Structure 1
Amino acid sequence: MASYLRLLCIALCLCLSSCAINVSPSAFFYQDTNQKPLDTTKLHAAIQQDKTSAGITRVEVKNNQGLMLRGVAVSYPTPMVNVLFFADNRMSISENNSVIHRMGKLPANILWLDYQGVGASEKSNDLSIDAIKQDALTQFDYVKTTFDNTLPTIVHGRGIGSYFASYVAANRQIDALVLDGAFNNISDLIANMVPGFSNAITSMRLHDEVHSMQIAPILRHYDGPLWLVVGEQDKITPYPISQQLLAQSASEAKLISIIPGATHNATLRSDYAISEYRRFLASLRR
């Protein structure tokens, strides 16, 4: 996260003009310079350390642009749910295998593909948030044809991924939505991530695609089950944001959990978080 903040600062400085910054998709949404091999070593090690078992399948899905999105489908024994996971900015599968194993303890079937231009997935010449939104729908459709359809299919978004998860909820019939360290709009998110800029910059000029990344308008029309989870020590997307999103949601089956001591990137690391996740899943069965 620290390296991402440095990159964001540089990008914003380059866009600085007349007390305003132009926030384009490429200035905000991280892209790797080079494509990297998919590495599941840490996931295998975590499974072996816990003396559990899981089926790990490397997945390739071609998107509407003809780019290959790569990731993993992981199936744990006697799953309760299918989970489509959308990661935070600069969060590749190869470097964050522990997240998969934590969710697997629900237990669950999990699909996670790297965003285009991140990790093992192919990169477009021109980054488009709209294209990534379409990728999200493609991934959901893939889950529905791959995993056990007798199980609930939930969409889980962390950080930036909470927007793409919400977008899927607005355009597909999902069984539940999980927003993990969610934000409301990009201006507020940038101000929290790079607080020094808020003192010197009077306005931001958001590219239309970046400006559209707002979650509250979606939740006002989403009436399905909703769980918001946020770390007690989250400074990037602090608790009041999740509290506001919860209040604006049209759902009548909604929960919010604060994970003690957790930062923005660590919500699912505690046993308490997993127990809260299971409590939410139990509410679906009721």
Structure 2
Amino acid sequence: MKRVGNIIMFCMGLLLLSACQTISITEKHFLYPDDSITQDQVDSWGRQQQLEFIVIAAADGTELKGALITQVNARSTLIYFGGNQFRLESQGGELAKILSQFGNNLLIMDHRGYGMSQGSPTISALQTDAVDIYDYVKSDPNLGELPVIIHGLSLGSMIAGRLAHQRPIDGLVLEGSTTTAQGLIDAQVPWYAAPFIELSISEKLANVDNLANIENYTGQLLIMVGENDQTTPVSLSESLYKQATTASKQLVVVEGKGHGNAIKSEDFSAMYKAFVQSVILAKASEAL
């Protein structure tokens, strides 16, 4: 209901400003059905892919649950870490369809304490879990012998960035990413309010630093952000791009999109396909 209230207040604000517009509010503003993944759904995509729900034991014994989509003759493996609101059972269907279209295997896990996964989340625990998930993929020859791409959105970008610092990955996608916890807060507080606000950041949050994480990353890097992203503004992605030292980096500002929906743009598929191909070619050249 809070979300509905925000929509109504936003619409009222527009009406007051324009005084001459009619804004249509429909059922879709009130109904948010689950979007889970099923084998029938995967079959409908026509890609000859197999869906398996898996359990990965974290280092502390916590059961992490997710979905693995595989296909014969896959050329890469993509691991996705979602944002703070992400749950596989409610948001996984469309996401999986979009991110499994590049001749790749796809692994999507619920964060600990989210959705189907056990445990209680902390930033450090989520980052440790990411290492366990990566190691699970690398231990499976059908997954880990292929180029491995890590894609993180928002909260997931903090996890993905840290993982790239801890493990050798072939491709890194940071979508709607922050730089540091302080950088995120500074971006949210208007300049005119800053002199009147004093915020204390906990030590654990202060240690979140994607600028440092990517400083020594040498693989293929794609930084993606919606041009209208108000949660993690474009300026944060621009800072990450400038900080990255890898020779293979690109920054894509997606026109007309906000936070978390850049992959739903018309140009996404072609752009992402080119990135995946660059990762595959770079991995192949290393083997020569």
* TM-score tier (shorter): 0.7 to 0.9
Q: Which residue of 1 aligns with 2:129?
A: 135
Structure 2 residue 227 is the aligned partner of structure 1 residue 232 = yes
Distance 1:160 1:235, change over 3 A: same
Structure 2 residue 204 is the aligned partner of structure 1 residue 209 = yes
How far has the Cα of 1:123 moved from its partner?
Answer: 2.0
Q: CA RMSD in A?
A: 2.5
* SS of the residue 1:205 aligns to: coil
Aligned residues: 249
Match among 181, 184, 187 for residue 189 of structure 1: 184
CA distance in 2, matches of 1:242, 1:279: 20
Contact 2:42 2:50 in 1 (8 A): no
* SS of the residue 2:218 aligns to: coil
How far has the Cα of 1:186 moved from its partner?
Answer: 2.0
How far has the Cα of 1:201 moved from its partner?
Answer: 5.7
Match among 44, 50, 65 for residue 55 of structure 1: 50
Matches within 5 A, 1:142-157: 142-146=136-140, 147-157=142-152
* SS of the residue 2:77 aligns to: strand
Matches within 5 A, 1:1-286: 41-42=36-37, 44=39, 46-76=41-71, 78-97=73-92, 98-124=94-120, 127-146=121-140, 147-190=142-185, 192=187, 202-284=197-279, 285-286=281-282
- Unaligned segments of structure 1, at least 5 residues: 7-38
CA distance in 1, matches of 2:79, 2:246: 20
Q: Which residue of 2 aligns with 1:11?
A: none
Letter matched to residue 264 of structure 1: H
Contact 1:43 1:101 in 2 (8 A): no
Letter matched to residue 83 of structure 1: L
How far has the Cα of 1:84 moved from its partner?
Answer: 1.1
Distance 1:40 1:202, change over 3 A: closer
CA distance in 2, matches of 1:49, 1:62: 31
Provide, for residues 206-254 of structure 1, a one-character-per-residue CA deviation record: whole Å limited to 9, x for no partner. 2211111110011112122111111122111122211111111110111
Provide, for residues 13-44 of structure 1, a one-character-per-residue CA deviation record: whole Å limited to 9, x for no partner. xxxxxxxxxxxxxxxxxxxxxxxxxx874455
How far has the Cα of 1:196 moved from its partner?
Answer: 11
Contact 1:84 1:153 in 2 (8 A): yes
Q: Could you tell me the TM-score, scaled by structure 2's length?
A: 0.78
- Unaligned segments of structure 2, at least 5 residues: 7-33, 283-288
Structure showing greater Rg: 2
Q: Could you tell me the TM-score, scaled by structure 1's length?
A: 0.79
Equivalent pairs: percent with the same residue? 24
Q: Which residue of 2 aligns with 1:15?
A: none
CA distance in 1, matches of 2:91, 2:126: 20
* SS of the residue 1:95 aligns to: helix
How far has the Cα of 1:135 moved from its partner?
Answer: 0.5
Contact 1:59 1:73 in 2 (8 A): yes
